[in-house]
Structure 1
Amino acid sequence: MGAGTVDLLVIGGGMAGLSAAARVASEGGSVVLVERAERTGGSARFAGFVWTAPTVEELRRINPDGDPELATALLNGFEDAVAWIRLLGVECRPPVPVLGFGRGHQVDTNRYLDACERLIRDRGGDVLTATRTRDLLTEDGVVRGAECVLPDGSRRRIDAAWTLLATGGFQGDPDLRAEHIHPRAREIGLRANPYSRGEGLALGLAAGAAFGPKDAGFYGHLMPAGVSLSDPARFVGLALYYSEHALLFDITGERFADETAGDHLTTMALLERPQARGLLVADARVHREWISASYVEGIPGVDKFQLCHRAGARCAVADSLEEFAWMPAEWGYPGTRIRDRVEEFNAAVRDGGETAPGRLLDRQPLDEPPFYVIEAVPAITFTFSGLLTDAGAHVLSADGHHRIPGLLVAGADAGGLYRRAYAGGLAPALVFGLAAARTVLAGTAGGGR
């Protein structure tokens, strides 16, 4: 390696990239981090919990089609990742349940991200913001760094023993969403930073990387239709997490998924329904116990229905199920059919019978007036398909026979961990970002040659 070669070049300054760069810098490694936005942190600045499944077995249960090697690496690395956060002086609060099956810690992610950036700079590393990566530098099939475009338009060549792609996925690009998720995904809302537009994906594919898995889906949530997501404060405030305890109807007036499987899974299912919109119906019990209550222990509860109403969402309160017959025609939903389906659901639950679709959890009737109705649409946070990788964060080649020497991937640029399932986003970014750092620190640049 030349005298001007750094140990690690990181392309993307979110949770994965900052964690990897800071860890290498903490051990005396030389680092350059390149971030397209004017500030580091990415979508991690909008999140507050580092969590995943409590065991490998549980992760395999809820995510049976994910890569088992990556699942094991995630769980094996989780406690060390939490310890790393604490080592930087950032509090991880005691573990609490998340999504009914997971477990994790509330973290001041902004403080953690800023601590990582400060450590990098203090150890002599460069953090280049508002900087675009033009091309990877390759020599005899080995990635040797990248050529970047600085804010003033000038170019800078950065030679590196290892290059880490961590640009956050491709959810910010409508065309890539339509190509790799669903044609209707082109129009869905973005509840994430706007800079994750597939830059890492494009760079990796140009270097011969494998991409997948096919039809892996995405992580997101149901949001009120017709409400702008330009303000990141709305990403959590207006997310309709309580859909797990309500009933969701498409524009034909039919249920199409087991809502209790999770709002994040119902979101993927709604995208595939006609017009990708639906009516979320709850009753007074659900409003009392879930719409107005805390979604995760430690987070104060707010009345999401009132928040949606004040934001201008299409919503209504019905004093009885009979009022569904008076649903405004411009909404486009068959109100009478929805009323009938709610009554059929209630009767089946009371009689101990089966509902269609089935319902694994919360088999209580929705029969306590008034009824709360919100039109919901899917919104995306990050993508599950990406560059295929192994437990050491190496990028795997499209021919399936080797690692691409010198090239690493972590965070939402990496694929394979989840397939139409989800068990945390910050935890994999953190764990595999630190795994990339270990690969760099092992001193085997270009491993797999």
Structure 2
Amino acid sequence: MGTTTVDLLVIGGGMAGLSAATRVAAEGDSVVLVEKAEATGGSARFAGFVWTAPTVEEMRRVNPDGDPDLAAALLDGFTDGVAWIRSLGVECQPPVPVLGFGRGHQVDTNHYLDTCERLIRERGQEVLTSTWTHALVTENGVVKGADCLLPDGSERRIEATWTLLATGGFQGDPGLRAEYVHPQAADIGLRANPHSRGDGLTLGRSAGAAFGRKDAGFYGHLMPAGVSLADPARFVDLALYYSEHALLFDTTGERFVDETVGDHLTTMALLERPGARGLLVADARVHREWISASYVEGIPGVDKFQLCHRAGARSAVADSLEDFASMPEEWGYPGATIRDRIEEFNTAARANGALEPGRLLDRRPLDEPPFYVVEAAPAITFTFGGLLIDAGAHALAADGNGRSPVPGLLAAGADAGGLYRRAYAGGLAPALVFGLAAARTALGESPAAPVH
């Protein structure tokens, strides 16, 4: 078995891992990045906005049960994170609103990821792809690196002062989804890369790192039920973001969530309903203002209903609410009940009466025919549950007090948990910020050290 010794070993080559490795290499320290896929980038290649909540107060409002220290660290590090991206010659567009409460920048993510890998190699450091990390090396409770399996089948030990877990979470493993998210999560769609299967979780726990709360939830979106997500282009094209302005009914014909608080939150709620599927109903106004309009400033709008219909989704256009009573039996929904609930909703909305569930952000009735119906199902992008960390990206030990670090071990990106609990304020931003925090820890810098 060959052996290499470096200052930082990074396991996982997505947003967090590449950011950390590039920062360490830029300062002249030694680093090896190990990625089990054939190419680096992970699910970050499917994203294009680096954003989060604009203030601590807003983060607390949208994410009240998340770790406040991690939330503060994210917001404190966001500006420097954006500056770091720009320092590599990658353009960040001017800030725009995101999800109604957030603020962030459109970024050429692929340019950033490829630039990171190029700079690591130019500094004489290694990027090993198609390489699997099968065990951490520990000595007296200190993580000292890892044993890796190279593409040719040979083994290599990489000894390191610091080891960073950044493998992207466990959303790619149906069994782990069922265990740590919800029993029905085993069968939901995956709108992410297929390689993030809990490697970081398994490695970290083997070294004594603590896993966060099982009920932390996940980030995802409603997608048309029964439609394959094998083509990553569908991750955004078919996402039913407009659910925030529509009505969602489960298989019993009832509403069960305030749809207006966010499609990503409605997605978690639908996972817990019978069969994890539901009918999303919009009217002509919603079609005009939201289904075929831009979701985020700078991204052209497309008619998502037509895209879903062409993709083979269960969908229909109803000329009137009476048509719901003739819903095909094989769909498995009580159409007449849904018709009645829409009429009840519209009556209450017009009278500014009580709605159950409520509608915090959009109480307008859905009464302009025709009506657009798509069967929706939850799909997962990344998990919120992960290894607990502190603001310096140290993995915390499962030793009872919950705050002592596992010596030598770091975690970032979706391998790190605690930041969000059944709430969401950006995915790329935490990966970037805590990836750079891991780099600062490995470099022995103070948290306030400036970005170069």
* Category of TM-score, reference length = shorter chain: over 0.9
The alpha carbon displacement at 1:213 in A equals 1.9
The residue number in structure 1 matching 2:426 is 424
The alpha carbon displacement at 1:362 in A equals 1.0
User: Residues 443, 364 of structure 1: CA spacing in aligned structure 2 closer, same or farther, 3 A cutoff?
Assistant: closer
CA RMSD of aligned residues (A): 0.9
Secondary structure of 1:349's counterpart equals helix
The residue number in structure 2 matching 1:366 is 366
Secondary structure of 1:138's counterpart equals strand
Identity %, equivalent residues? 82
The residue number in structure 2 matching 1:92 is 92
- Quick check: 271-280 or 392-401, which moved more? 392-401
Q: Deviations for 1:352-391, whole angstroms, at most 9, x for unmatched residues?
A: 1011000101110000000000000000000000000000
Give matches, 1:9-408, under 5 Å: 9-399=9-399, 400=402, 402-408=404-410
Equivalent of 2:438, from 433, 436, 439? 436
The alpha carbon displacement at 1:163 in A equals 0.2
Q: Which amino acid in the other structure matches residue 335 of structure 1?
A: G
Q: Deviations for 1:33-65, whole angstroms, at most 9, x for unmatched residues?
A: 000100000000000000000001100110000
Cα distance in 1, alignment partners of residues 404 and 292 from structure 2 = 51
Q: Deviations for 1:206-244, whole angstroms, at most 9, x for unmatched residues?
A: 000100123000000000011000000000000000000
Q: Which amino acid in the other structure matches residue 142 of structure 1?
A: V
Cα distance in 1, alignment partners of residues 243 and 259 from structure 2 = 6
Cα distance in 2, alignment partners of residues 119 and 160 from structure 1 = 20
Secondary structure of 2:214's counterpart equals coil
Q: Which amino acid in the other structure matches residue 6 of structure 1?
A: V
Cα distance in 1, alignment partners of residues 152 and 170 from structure 2 = 25
The alpha carbon displacement at 1:348 in A equals 0.2
Cα distance in 2, alignment partners of residues 193 and 214 from structure 1 = 22
Secondary structure of 1:5's counterpart equals strand
Instruction: List 4+ stretches of structure 1 deviating above 4 A.
Output: none
The alpha carbon displacement at 1:443 in A equals 6.9
2:4–2:157 contact (8 Å) kept in structure 1: no
Q: Deviations for 1:387-410, whole angstroms, at most 9, x for unmatched residues?
A: 000000000000125201100000
Give the TM-score of the pair, scaled to structure 1.
Answer: 0.98
Q: Which amino acid in the other structure matches residue 442 of structure 1?
A: G
User: Residues 128, 4 of structure 1: CA spacing in aligned structure 2 closer, same or farther, 3 A cutoff?
Assistant: closer
User: Residues 371, 29 of structure 1: CA spacing in aligned structure 2 closer, same or farther, 3 A cutoff?
Assistant: same
Q: Which amino acid in the other structure matches residue 11 of structure 2?
A: I
The alpha carbon displacement at 1:5 in A equals 2.0
Q: Which amino acid in the other structure matches residue 14 of structure 2?
A: G
Q: Which amino acid in the other structure matches residue 24 of structure 1?
A: V
Cα distance in 2, alignment partners of residues 316 and 4 from structure 1 = 60
Q: Deviations for 1:408-435, whole angstroms, at most 9, x for unmatched residues?
A: 0000000000000000000000000000
Cα distance in 1, alignment partners of residues 305 and 61 from structure 2 = 33
The residue number in structure 1 matching 2:450 is none
Cα distance in 1, alignment partners of residues 113 and 190 from structure 2 = 22
The alpha carbon displacement at 1:13 in A equals 0.2
Q: Which amino acid in the other structure matches residue 94 of structure 2?
A: P
Give the TM-score of the pair, scaled to structure 2.
Answer: 0.97
Cα distance in 1, alignment partners of residues 329 and 214 from structure 2 = 39
Cα distance in 2, alignment partners of residues 139 and 277 from structure 1 = 48
Aligned pair count reads 442
User: Residues 334, 144 of structure 1: CA spacing in aligned structure 2 closer, same or farther, 3 A cutoff?
Assistant: same
Cα distance in 1, alignment partners of residues 445 and 157 from structure 2 = 22
Cα distance in 2, alignment partners of residues 387 and 25 from structure 1 = 25
Q: Which amino acid in the other structure matches residue 160 of structure 1?
A: A
Cα distance in 1, alignment partners of residues 320 and 435 from structure 2 = 52
Q: Which amino acid in the other structure matches residue 275 of structure 1?
A: G
2:5–2:159 contact (8 Å) kept in structure 1: yes
Cα distance in 2, alignment partners of residues 352 and 218 from structure 1 = 33
Cα distance in 2, alignment partners of residues 226 and 259 from structure 1 = 21
